[in-house]
Structure 1
Amino acid sequence: MSEVKIKTKADPSVKRKSAAREWFDSILFAVVAATLIRWLFMEAFTIPTPSMERSLMVGDFLFVSKFHYGTRTPKTPLQVPLTHQKIWGTDIPSYLDWIQLPQYRLPGFSSVKNGDVVVFNYPPEDQYPTDLKTNYIKRCMGIAGDVLEVRHRAVYVNGKAAEVPPFSQQTYYIYTKKTDLDDAFFRQYEIINDYRPETESVNWQPLQQLNDSTKTNELVGYQVRTTEDVVAQIRKYDWCREIVAADELPQATPSPYNQLYGSKQFNWTVDNFGPVTIPKEGATVQLDKKSIALYGPVIQKYEGNKNVVLTDSTVSVDGKAITSYTFKQDYYFMMGDNRHNSLDSRYWGFVPSDHIVGKAVFIWMSIDPNPANAANKIRWNRLFSVVK
């Protein structure tokens, strides 16, 4: 029997990728992975303003959980990955609004609760799609259906005093006996002037009064923003004559902002605000001058209604006058812990549920933008601390 030889075709050699192609594939994989993690699970944020001091400090870097409340599906899909409003280092928009998708929220394992520190899209910013509005961070003081009121600085929810955040700050006037206090003194109590834009004021500054006989300014004390615990410590100094809370003065509480929410119909201040009922999905409100001042902007901007026309006493939707309205989603009332230096719901109203981004969970890095010396540039005591 003769042997049969079968000739086989040699396998072609596998072509190796070029170095440039390997780099491209690696970068593409990293971008896709980072985009999915940032969208689904966790996103890093930086604290740029002092509205949450001292709970969160300017220069804190924190992670915000998306899966606590459930991540949102993209509304604006035509966007450069890992950007928000602008391409890095430029003023070039990072997105196109040609396509706007319906937005849904994936299941989460929690809901927004009173006291949570929440990141959300700034509601009044109409020039951007919802998911690309500027990110704000505040503490949720009232959830949908709550009746919230601020009385003499204290927040009440449904008639009960709300828990005071442990590092919540208020404005105080410290009257002294001709003692010059400097930045080093205030820094030891974490009263730090680390931010000075036109819209927000500093955390401490000299308090002066005009001496009519000499026409010169006389130092009489200091205006500070700090906690009750720090105030109690400063009272013990023999040079401290008196410390007065801002709302105990005859004049209105100083504020860096001009107008409170609903001020057309209500004589409210930052320290005496409400009571106000926070809109809840399915709840119906009767419309009159007072309720329109509170809920008219909600009906017009955040409920998906078309052709809404508001006056001080009337509301029409798509050409039809309405006398009552049923809300389509839940809303929240957000406040900064630095109560007299925070642009929050007292000024611009409620946060819709579709604007909620996630829950702040922990600080992984903290850099002092204005350290006393180079050795104190990193705030080591804040690293890997839980947001409370």
Structure 2
Amino acid sequence: MSAQAYKPAVKKKSKLKIFLFALIFFLTLIIIKGIFLGAYHITSSSMRNALIEGDFVLVKKSSYQIRTPDKFPFTPFKIPSFRILKRHKPERNDVVVFKMNEFLVDTSLTEYDLVKRIIALPGETVQLKDRSVFINDEEINNPSSVTFNLNSPFFYNKAEQKFYPFKDKTWKINFYGPVKVPQRGDTIQINPKNISIWQPIINYESGGKFINVEGTVITYKGRPITEYIIQKDYYFVLGDNRFESVDSRFFGFVPEDEIIGKVWMIYWSINPAIETGFWDFFNALRFDRITKSIY
């Protein structure tokens, strides 16, 4: 048999190798993006100065747990996700990306991935007094990136708003608490006065709206209850730009299961206030922020 008879087979093998290489490369990207790393764009000033508008950040999704992807790769279509491995617990001052479940907040907040700093851990009591934060009655140091913009319209507009858990009308954006962060195993006394506070968490942990209130009688899945045992750990988060941030003061505690990952570094940064013409592009780049680690 002549050598020419083998040429088509060689070409087919080459094409097969290219296809397999491309498939492996694509699957590797899916695994990295879906399980280990995420890329996010900062669009608000709530985390200034650690993160500012126009920063693009990498998030370590595997910092606390390893989960299967919750979206079909490179599409907005959601798919069921489950935890493969639990790793480390989130720590104070970690800057994290998370989502808020529809049972916990208004649906207007469930569409977004949020980024804030963890301030209080499960079981701790947090209180804000002007520019100071107290954990279990002891003042903690604010990170160097924290800012207080006294001239912010947000600060004045939110000064008289009701805050979570709507306990005291005297609370303000800079005078808040004390509030105890729920942790797994806590027993909560339930009554008609506080059911509005705990009902979202009970619904979230139950995966449905099983609480019913009729006068002074509160039922859970059809049975009267006077107490409830917390099933998950929660965290209290704040934005570094303390007077321009919608955070746990407004939407409540963040469940550990809803934390996507820890912000790792800024991989790209461009000033959105500068026009994006060809020449403006280079002026808009913020080289001093690129590769900056986030603490």
Same fold by TM-score greater than 0.5:
yes
**C-alpha contact (below 8 Å) 2:66/2:84 kept by paired residues:** yes
Residue 376 of structure 1: aligned partner? 283
Deviation at 1:116, TM superposition (A): 0.7
Residue 129 of structure 2: aligned partner? 151
Cα distance in 2 between the residues matched to 1:290 and 1:266: 13
Residue 240 of structure 2: aligned partner? 337
Instruction: Give the structure with the larger helix fraction.
Output: 2
Residue 33 of structure 2: aligned partner? 38
Gaps of 5+ in 1: 1-9, 87-93, 174-202, 204-222, 226-245, 247-252
Shift in CA distance, 349/62, structure 1 to aligned 2, threshold 3 Å:
same
Deviates more, 1:347-356 or 1:311-320: 311-320
Shift in CA distance, 325/301, structure 1 to aligned 2, threshold 3 Å:
same
Query: What are the equivalent positions in structure 2 for 1:105-120 lying under 5 Å apart?
Result: 105-108=84-87, 110-120=88-98
Cα distance in 2 between the residues matched to 1:42 and 1:381: 23
Query: What are the equivalent positions in structure 2 for 1:1-388 lying under 5 Å apart?
Result: 14=9, 16-17=11-12, 27-74=22-69, 76=70, 79-83=71-75, 86=76, 94-95=77-78, 100=80, 103-108=82-87, 110-124=88-102, 134-173=112-151, 253-255=156-158, 259-263=162-166, 265-267=167-169, 268-289=171-192, 291-304=194-207, 307-310=210-213, 315-371=218-274, 374=280, 375-388=282-295
**C-alpha contact (below 8 Å) 2:127/2:134 kept by paired residues:** yes
Shift in CA distance, 136/105, structure 1 to aligned 2, threshold 3 Å:
farther
Cα distance in 1 between the residues matched to 2:63 and 2:111: 21
Deviation at 1:18, TM superposition (A): 9.5
Shift in CA distance, 291/121, structure 1 to aligned 2, threshold 3 Å:
same
3-state SS in 2 of match to 1:161 = strand
CA RMSD of aligned residues (A): 3.3
Cα distance in 2 between the residues matched to 1:333 and 1:312: 32
Deviation at 1:165, TM superposition (A): 1.9
Shift in CA distance, 257/31, structure 1 to aligned 2, threshold 3 Å:
farther
Cα distance in 1 between the residues matched to 2:118 and 2:255: 12
Residue 4 of structure 1: aligned partner? none
Determine which structure has more spread, i.e. the larger CA radius of gyration: 1
Deviation at 1:141, TM superposition (A): 0.7
Cα distance in 2 between the residues matched to 1:324 and 1:259: 25
Cα distance in 1 between the residues matched to 2:19 and 2:161: 51
Normalising by structure 2, we get a TM-score of 0.82
Shift in CA distance, 350/142, structure 1 to aligned 2, threshold 3 Å:
same
Cα distance in 2 between the residues matched to 1:71 and 1:303: 23
3-state SS in 1 of match to 2:28 = helix
Q: Deviations over 1:25-77 (max 9, x none)?
A: 55543331111012332211111111101110111111111222122234x5x
Normalising by structure 1, we get a TM-score of 0.64
Gaps of 5+ in 2: none
3-state SS in 2 of match to 1:338 = coil
Identity, in percent, stands at 29
